[in-house]
């Protein structure tokens, strides 16, 4: 972490500011140390990451997958602009407007979208409950405008009104209570700041039922074995391309049809392995934004993607 992050950090229990002690540092990056609140509560800094949780709780599958696929979805590693295009789809203003903004990435994974914020001149703080934060720090932790924090979305360690933009794309539906998780975000926005989210869509009932059936069927399979099973998505991709019956295959056994084989395996494991997975409609999530008194609410894409502004 950088010392500049300290101005945003607060004890998630008391809201107090921290005293920083450093035991190892490399350039501007604090690698090891401790954050201590006035009441004596302390949190370690380990491998460049402040840790506000003792373990990865219910998201061990994501710790596993992002360690294995640390660079699969990084545009800089795969030579595409896929993540940039995906991010732009949900952002309610041009990517160039990210310059100078302070951004919170909720559920940052290995930093897929954080890389886009950095590319366009923003400062990003990525949080994740899983050990994906270590993959993200390895990918871009040395960037002067990047920080990563291991924390729980229900107890975020930040001062109110810290961020110009908060986004969580395809993450909150994997929490025990997505609505409660969403409600933790708007107070961290500066007046005029934007929050944007993406959730799985509930409209295709057959797909949702099949997806939930297989997730239930696979729930006791060890992660490594399930990951090996996810490699069936590589040849299965070609079955889904068959005329007429291809759609049936993809509905009965939901698997990724991404054009890159490695990405297909990653996405398929990602769909089969979560402990929690929920689906929503646009009106449901729209009401969440309204009840948080967000304005200028816009529906974006893909899935259930919305963005709203905290009134000035």
Q: What is the pLDDT of residue 302?
A: 95
Q: Hey, how many other C-beta atoms are within 10 angstroms of the C-beta on 142?
A: 13
What is the chain's mean pLDDT, rounded? 96
Strand partners, 196: 167, 307
Phi-psi region of 152 (alpha: psi -120 to 50; beta: other; left: phi over 0): beta
Q: Tell me how far apart the alpha carbons of residues 88 and 108 are, in angstroms, rounded to a whole number.
A: 16
- The larger pLDDT score, comparing residue 254 to residue 159, is at 159
pLDDT at 245: 86
What confidence tens digit (pLDDT) does each residue in 54-63 have? 999 999 999 9
pLDDT of residue 183: 98
| pLDDT exceeds cutoff 90 at 241 | no
SS3 per residue for 276-303: CCCCECHHHHHHHHHHCCCEEEEEECCC
Distance, in Å, from the CA atom of 269 to the CA atom of 46, rounded to the nearest integer, reads 28
pLDDT tens per residue across span 247-298: 888 888 889 989 999 999 999 999 999 999 999 999 999 999 999 999 999 9
pLDDT digits (tens, 9 = 90+) for 62-95: 999 999 999 999 999 999 999 999 999 999 999 9
Kindly indicate the confidence band of residue 246, based on its pLDDT and cuts at 50, 70 and 90.
Answer: confident
State residue 273's pLDDT score.
97
For 281, the token pair is 């409609």
For the stretch 175-211, pLDDT in tens is 999 999 999 999 999 999 999 999 999 999 999 999 9
Q: 79's torsion region: left (phi>0), alpha (psi -120 to 50) or beta? A: left
Q: What percent of the chain has pLDDT over 90?
A: 93
pLDDT the model gives residue 250: 82
User: Is 255 exposed, middle or buried (CB count within 10 Å of its CB: 0-12, 13-18, 19+)?
Assistant: buried
C-alpha to C-alpha distance for 94 and 247, rounded to whole angstroms: 35
**pLDDT (mean) for 228-246:** 90
pLDDT for the residue numbered 251: 83
């Amino acid at each position: 972490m950088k010392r500049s992050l300290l101005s945003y950090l607060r004890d998630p229990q008391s809201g107090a500011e921290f005293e920083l002690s450093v035991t190892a540092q490399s350039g501007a990056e604090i690698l090891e140390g401790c954050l201590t609140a006035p009441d004596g509560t302390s949190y370690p800094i380990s491998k460049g990451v402040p840790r506000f949780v003792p373990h990865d709780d219910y998201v061990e599958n994501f710790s596993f997958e992002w360690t294995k696929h640390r660079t699969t979805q990084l545009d800089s590693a795969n030579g595409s602009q896929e993540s940039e295009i995906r991010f732009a789809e949900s952002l309610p203003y041009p990517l160039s407007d990210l310059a100078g903004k302070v951004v919170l990435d909720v559920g940052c994974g290995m930093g897929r979208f954080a890389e886009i914020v950095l590319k366009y001149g923003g400062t990003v703080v990525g949080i994740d409950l899983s050990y994906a934060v270590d993959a993200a720090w390895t990918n871009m932790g040395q960037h002067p405008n990047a920080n990563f924090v291991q924390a729980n979305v229900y107890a975020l360690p930040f001062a109110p009104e810290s961020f110009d933009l908060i986004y969580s794309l395809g993450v909150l539906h994997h929490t025990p209570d997505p609505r409660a998780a969403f409600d933790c975000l708007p107070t961290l926005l500066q007046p005029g700041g934007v929050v944007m989210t993406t959730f799985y869509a509930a409209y295709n009932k057959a797909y949702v039922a099949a997806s939930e059936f297989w997730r239930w069927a696979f729930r006791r399979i060890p992660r490594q074995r399930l990951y090996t099973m996810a490699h069936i998505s590589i040849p299965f991709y070609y079955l889904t391309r068959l005329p007429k019956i291809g759609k049936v295959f993809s509905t009965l056994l939901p698997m990724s049809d991404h054009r890159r084989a490695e990405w297909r395996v990653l996405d398929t494991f990602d769909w089969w392995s979560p402990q929690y997975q929920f689906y929503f409609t646009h009106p449901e999530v729209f009401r969440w934004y309204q009840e948080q008194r967000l304005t200028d609410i816009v529906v974006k894409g893909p899935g259930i993607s919305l963005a709203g502004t905290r009134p000035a």
